[in-house]
């Protein structure tokens, strides 16, 4: 039996041309930097992540996040929202999708070779809060293709990157989404929340 209270959320930053990275590949993210740590985008991040007790990550994002976020909680020079996010991220369950990673050293982490849709169906049957994908486009795309995503949290950045990986492709299940929140940011971003229409 599924737990209807466990909303599955995909949280990601996108360029105006729908890309999750630039033409330089997975780590071509410099276009996001001017927009990532403004008060509005940080507040949006806290608001979207706070109800979640499980985080879903691909291997690359797990390793990238794990190399940065664990120590931010105690960094007095970091913005309070970043420290709050770090404390939350250290504490929550972190599910890592990987067929090659052998060890998950970050506290409260575990690795699965399962596909994201199967894992989410199992997690929905367990007690807990929201289940959120943090910036892992491949995981979000897999959940969209299986129609297992309930909410999309998009930070739309005012940048055209002219290449790179698109979030949306032809594998996705057609469907309607309802805009439930739209917050403009200081740098020209739009923080958007869409809920999947069902039934």
- What's the pLDDT score for residue 27? 85
**pLDDT value for 4:** 58
**What does the pLDDT look like over 50-77, one tens digit per residue?**
999 999 999 999 999 999 999 999 999 9
pLDDT at 2: 47
Token readout for 41 is 């985008």
Using CA atoms, how far apart are residues 73 and 53, in angstroms rounded to an integer? 18
Q: Which long-range contacts (CB under 8 A, 24 or more apart) does 22-27 make?
A: 22/161, 22/162, 22/163, 22/164, 23/161, 23/162, 23/163, 23/164, 24/164, 25/164, 26/60, 26/165
Mean pLDDT of the chain: 94
Residues 191 and 188: their CA atoms lie apart, in Å, by 10
Domains and CATH numbers, the chain: 8-127+146-186 (3.40.430.10)
Residue tagged 């996001």 (tokens): 32
Question: Encoding tokens for residue 14?
Answer: 């996108």
Cα 158 from chain centre = 19
Nearest by Cα to 157 from 47, 8, 30, 58: 30
Extract the residue ranges of the chain whose pLDDT is less than 50: 1-3
């Amino acid at each position: 039996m599924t737990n209807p209270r466990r909303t599955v959320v995909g949280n990601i930053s996108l360029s105006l041309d729908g890309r999750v990275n630039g033409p330089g590949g997975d780590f071509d993210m410099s276009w996001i930097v001017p927009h990532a740590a403004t008060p509005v985008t940080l507040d949006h991040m806290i608001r979207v992540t706070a109800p979640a007790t499980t985080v879903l990550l691909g291997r690359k994002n797990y390793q990238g996040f794990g190399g940065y976020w664990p120590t931010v909680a105690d960094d007095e020079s970091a913005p309070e929202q970043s420290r709050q996010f770090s404390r939350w991220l250290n504490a929550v369950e972190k599910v890592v999708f990987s067929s090659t990673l052998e060890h998950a050293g970050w506290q409260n982490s575990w690795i699965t070779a399962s596909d994201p849709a199967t894992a989410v169906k199992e997690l929905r049957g367990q007690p807990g809060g929201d289940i959120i994908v943090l910036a892992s486009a491949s995981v979000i795309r897999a959940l969209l293709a299986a129609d297992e995503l309930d909410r999309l949290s998009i930070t739309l950045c005012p940048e055209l990157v002219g290449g790179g990986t698109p979030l949306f492709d032809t594998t996705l299940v057609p469907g309607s989404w309802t805009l439930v929140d739209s917050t403009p940011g200081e740098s020209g971003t739009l923080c958007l929340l869409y809920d999947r229409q069902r039934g």
